[in-house]
Structure 1
Amino acid sequence: MLRCFSYCFLLMVLAFAACSPNNVEVDDRLEKIFEANGVKGTFGIYDNGQGSFIVHDLSRFKDSAYLPASTFKIVNSLIGIESGKIVDEKMIIPWDGKTRQIPEWNKNLDMTEAFKVSAVPYYQEVARRIGKDTMQRWLDTLGYGSRYNKAVINTIDTFWLDNSVKVTADEQLGLVKKLYFDQLPFQKRTMRIVKDVMQQEKNANYSISYKTGWGKTENGNALGWVIGWIIENQHPYFFALNVEGPADTDMVKVRLNVLNGALDQLGFRKGKK
């Protein structure tokens, strides 16, 4: 069942084209996708051409803030490149020799590889090189994580993982939308590099770019993110997915199951949008 609303706050956050009674649709049919995967959460997708927005659980999307987890690699990459701490997507940071649970992390990685396998150690080193003061200035400039409270960095190499900085799903969607259109306060080269490494799939029907995230909420639940965009017929749609489940949830699998289920439910990936 679709329910229509008018919410000017979404227009402000996402820069929607007009405040009309029909620009926000709450699609209750998406609930079954979350339930089938044993999680709760929210999903929103914005049609840039039509200025329309489809969402499941609007309250969670706009009002609830969570740790960004590895979706912060988007911002970390942008700041790293802009500040010169990441030279380009081919810059290697040597492995520190510590064996970690994810085998792909246990080697020298360049930025492209680190982004694709979501290597926490690589980006922790990037954050340390950027430094707390510079990172804080950029978060303030971007307004990152400040929808309800100013984002304050406690520990430079864990603040996006330890619940000390939180973001809402609508902030996440606004971030990727501004990145796509080069509307963030970075050089175009910086944004181009990050957009290139975000691309996950491209074929005759569509291309899709995103960053995933996985962390633990303060109550110990597993939290997952997928934020990015899908392009069909040269037309971009921006999305943010936030899912939460029991601590033992296989979030690597579940978050993409929910994303793919939602996109299929809404008729994407067929080249007909």
Structure 2
Amino acid sequence: MKFLGSILLTAAVISGILGGCTLNNVDQDDAAATYFKENNLKGTFALLDNVHELFTVYNLKRYRDSAYAPGGTFQLLTTLLGIETGRYLDDKSLITVGTDTVTLGDAFVKGNDAAMAKVAARIGKDTLQYWMDSLHYGKAKMVSDSEQIWKNDSLKITPDEQLGLFAKLYFVKLPFQKRTQQMVRKLMIREDNSLYSLAYKASWDLLPSGKYIGWITGWVEENKHIYFFVINAEPISGRPAQGALIKTAKDILKHYGFFEGKK
């Protein structure tokens, strides 16, 4: 169970909790299977209760042992680096793609692949490679500034690595300026009301193999308690429905009692 040392120790360190987690903290729960099937998906789901160091996972083998192209979730890293390196002043900076102009923040939130590819190219392969290596973000090697390794299946990461990266962003513990992390963390928030706050980055990508891979990673906060979640999935058949990832995530989180302000 080496993955426990990866995500749970990471969570303990970034939240200032001392002491490790034992197998008693891990709940393998198949309840999520129903919601995956209802949305024509198969995959894995994990939920980390950072306050109590409790970890719930569906399909442990896929969560722990499988790695997949990050696709559009790689935009988290490119957005951070775009601001951190000074290529872009902030999330309001403009990107021109053809005859269209969008802000960096909008490109990230809406998953504008063409705009974000321009951001990655402007950052440059050497800088991207340096930070991928420093953050232990997969093991791919970029060969050109225009190479989109995040969706050509040469770069692969595990759900565990995804969850750890987004948790570090929430706690502003990535090796970037505080301003940069807070700016991007704010872009993650999709719902914010008196009961809860929900933040996530989601993407569907068609890989060169012809296979669709989907990710949704983020956090939900209620009563000042923070919980991190990740879904890695693929369609059971055909093309994935556009809203399948967020619907599955919200269905599962609702099953566990979220969105009522009682967690």
TM-score by length of 1: 0.88
SS in 1 for 2:243: helix
**Counterpart pick for 2:141 among 147, 152, 156:** 152
Task: Report if aligned partners of 1:44, 1:56 keep a CA contact under 8 Å in 2.
Answer: yes
Correspondence 1:109-128 to 2 at 5 A: 109-128=102-121
Distance in 2 (alpha carbons) for counterparts of 1:266 and 1:249: 28
Look up the match of 1:197: 187
Query: Does the aligned pair in 1 maintain the 2:6–2:160 contact within 8 Å?
Result: no
1:47–1:53 CA contact under 8 A, matched in 2? yes
Aligned twin of 1:108: 101
Distance across 2 between alignment mates of 1:83 and 1:178? 19
Q: Which moved more, 1:218-227 or 1:133-142?
A: 218-227
- Once the 2 structures are TM-superposed, how far is the Cα of residue 70 of structure 1 from its aligned partner? 0.7
Distance 1:64 1:56 in 2: 13
Does the 8 A contact of 1:216 with 1:247 survive in 2?
no
Deviations 1:150-203 (A, max 9, x none): 222245441111111011100000001111111111010110110011110101
What is the identity, as a one-letter code, of the residue corresponding to 1:164? S
Distance 1:126 1:199 in 2: 21
Q: Which amino acid in the other structure matches residue 222 of structure 2?
A: E
> Given residue 243 of structure 2, which amino acid in structure 1 is its aligned partner?
K
Return closer, same or farther for 1:136/1:10 CA change in 2, 3 Å cut-off: same
What percent of counterpart residues are identical?
41
| Counterpart secondary structure, 2:242 | helix
Q: CA deviation at 1:209?
A: 0.8
* Equivalent position amino acid for 1:137 in 2: Y
Any unmatched runs of 5+ in structure 1?
A: 1-6, 98-106
Deviation for aligned residue 1:218: 5.4
Distance in 2 (alpha carbons) for counterparts of 1:30 and 1:53? 14
2:91 matched to 1:83? no
Specify which of 45, 48, 51 is matched with residue 53 of structure 2. 51
2:196 and 2:259 in contact (8 A); partners too:
yes
2:204 aligned counterpart, secondary structure:
strand
Q: Note the residue ranges of structure 2 that are not aligned, 5 or more in a row.
A: 13-19
- Residue 220 of structure 1 and its aligned partner are, at CA, apart by 2.1
C-alpha distance in 1 between matches for 2:144 and 2:38: 37
Whether contact under 8 Å (1:208, 1:229) holds in the other structure is yes
Whether contact under 8 Å (2:8, 2:21) holds in the other structure is: no
**Of the candidates 159, 168, 175, which is equivalent to residue 169 of structure 1?**
159
Alignment match, 1:103:
none
Match of 2:233 among 243, 259, 264: 243
1:201-239 deviations in Å (ceiling 9; x for gaps):
101110011111111245422211100111000111011
Code of the residue aligned with 2:247 in structure 1: it is N
Supply the distance in 2 between the matched residues of 1:188 and 1:62 (Cα, whole angstroms): 30
- 1: distance between equivalents of 2:96 and 2:211? 33
Aligned letter for 1:43? F
CA 1:217–1:128: 2 relative to 1, 3 Å: closer
TM-score, length-normalised on structure 2? 0.92
Q: Which residue of 2 aligns with 1:19?
A: 21
Larger deviation: 243-252 or 88-97?
A: 243-252
Distance 2:226 2:215 in 1: 19
* Residues 1:253 and 1:89: Cα distance change in structure 2 (over 3 Å): same
Aligned-partner SS, 1:242: strand
Moved over 6 A (4+): none
* Cα distance between partner residues in 2 of 1:35 and 1:268: 21
1:255 to 238, 245, 248: 245
CA RMSD of aligned residues (A): 1.5
Distance in 2 between residues matched to 1:129 and 1:207, nearest whole Å: 33
Q: Distance in 1 between matches of 2:252 and 2:70?
A: 21
